[in-house]
Amino acid sequence: MAMDGASIDVVPVELGTRSYEVRIGQGLLARAATEIAPLLRRRKVAVITDDTVAATHLMELARAFEMAGITLTALTIPPGEQSKGWPQLARCVEWLLEQKVERRDVVVAFGGGVVGDLVGFASAILRRGVRFVQIPTTLLAQVDSSVGGKTGINTAQGKNLVGAFHQPSLVLADIDVLETLPARDFLAGYGEVVKYGLLGDAAFFDWLEVNGPDLARDPAKRQYAVTRSVQMKAGIVSRDETEEGERALLNLGHTFCHALEKATGYGDRLLHGEGVAIGCALAFEVSQRLGLCSQEAPSRVRAHLRAMGTKVDIADIHGSLPSAEALLALMGQDKKVVDGKLRFILARGIGEAFVADDVPHDVVLGVLTEALAAKR
């Protein structure tokens, strides 16, 4: 794994005939055509991105393909979660058909989680499945959503309720691109990075405690953090692609997060990664109340998130929130409910998460009540 920041890290996602590589490093945008060319059966790619990424990075990508003699056509969609729905899905699919993209071609998803999920799903259903490449441009997308093949859209009934498992053929994570991210978005993505340490790698959490504050400005450390996160995700996905078991650990903090996101309207009040950070802290709190982990563990989690400057507590969310009972009810609507029971990812310590199906509701309610009281 590179710590000098100069070389490319390659993380394989082992899935038999659908295996692929995640390549992580600096300067990958400029090299994108060289990296993707071996996948092409004709010298043509269709790229879908959003207006923000297009304004900052599309020229560089287009130049790379032009220099390689590969024709690039691009569609841009509006940025933001609202694009992850039926209207933009239809637009993407129809545009790809107009571009005469065939099954032997490659579609490129160039953007954050919204673009990756939407374009991945469009690729899954276009002509019953065409190959696609992810070029994630946010920290959250590089360490989580671009890897593992979960694609889909939101509907009026909820988030990510329509979709498909459709693995990319390649993921190119250029860590230089993260330098153009607003600080708040970078920190939100960090919520997913810290999650990997908390769920299964205590040594990585130790490393993040020391080095996390440097990631935004130190490319070598940033590359190490992205690579280690992707290695963790790749391992879990290889062992449990369709979330029959171990993959659920990736949802550490997410049951709380989804309830808080619903309560705040999926908007600027709470970004997904901020909700994950708060959710991880709450999951450790619940674990400690149940006697599963030491008192020190939740304190360490919260101290580190505080040192990073991200949201840590429910009290850090501006504006009013529903009651603890109402938040618990919102958790019950989460799609990960199995047989009417709430499923939580809890921990026996830092790096030791497990799936718990029988968490007493009153303990969760108690933790939420105290967290909300701190807000007043």
Strand 9-13 and strand 353-356: the pairing is: unpaired
Pick the stretch among 86-94, 143-151, 206-214, 217-225 that binds ligand GLY (CB under 6 A): 143-151
Residue with smaller CB distance to ligand GLY, 149 or 212: 149
Site for ligand GLY in 249-288 (CB under 6 A): 250
Residue with smaller CB distance to ligand GLY, 58 or 252: 252
E runs forming strands in 137-279: 150-155, 158-165, 170-174
Least distance to ligand GLY, CB of residue 149, Å = 8
Q: What are phi and psi of 212, to 5 degrees?
A: -50, -45
Least distance to ligand GLY, CB of residue 145, Å = 6
From the list 166, 195, 254, 302, the catalytic residue is: 254
Q: Answer for the pair 39, 133: CB distance below 8 angstroms, yes or no.
A: yes
Residue with smaller CB distance to ligand GLY, 133 or 250: 250
Active-site annotation holds for 251: yes
Give how many residues touch ligand GLY by CB under 6 A: 5
Burial of 110 (0-12, 13-18, 19+ CB in 10 A): buried
Which of 83, 28, 78 lies closest to 54 in space, CA to CA?
78
Choosing from 23, 57, 131, 150, the residue that interacts with ligand GLY (CB under 6 A) is 150
Residue with smaller CB distance to ligand GLY, 150 or 258: 150
From the list 23, 131, 258, 311, the catalytic residue is: 258
Kindly state whether residue 247 participates in binding ligand GLY, applying the rule CB under 6 A. Answer: yes
Choosing from 25, 148, 163, 219, the residue that interacts with ligand GLY (CB under 6 A) is 148
Cα 76 from chain centroid (whole Å): 21
- Distance (Å, rounded) from C-alpha 111 to C-alpha 180? 13
Q: Answer for the pair 305, 274: CB distance below 8 angstroms, yes or no.
A: no
Least distance to ligand GLY, CB of residue 165, Å = 10
From the list 81, 243, 246, 352, the catalytic residue is: 243
Kindly state whether residue 336 participates in binding ligand GLY, applying the rule CB under 6 A. Answer: no
From the list 35, 192, 261, 285, the catalytic residue is: 192
Kindly state whether residue 144 participates in binding ligand GLY, applying the rule CB under 6 A. Answer: yes
Residue with smaller CB distance to ligand GLY, 64 or 250: 250
Least distance to ligand GLY, CB of residue 185, Å = 17
Three-state SS at 76:
strand
Rg of the chain over Cα atoms, rounded to whole angstroms, equals 20
Which of 270, 265, 358, 274 lies closest to 308 in space, CA to CA?
274
Give the tokens for residue 234: 């790749």
Give me the residue whose beta carbon is nearest to ligand GLY: 250
What CA–CA distances, in Å, run from 94 to 46, 98, 239? 12, 6, 35
Which uninterrupted H or E stretch holds 371? helix 361-373
- Distance (Å, rounded) from C-alpha 43 to C-alpha 35? 13
Catalytic amino acids?
128, 150, 192, 233, 243, 247, 251, 254, 258, 272
Q: Which parts of this chain interact with ligand GLY (CB under 6 A)?
A: 144, 148, 150, 247, 250
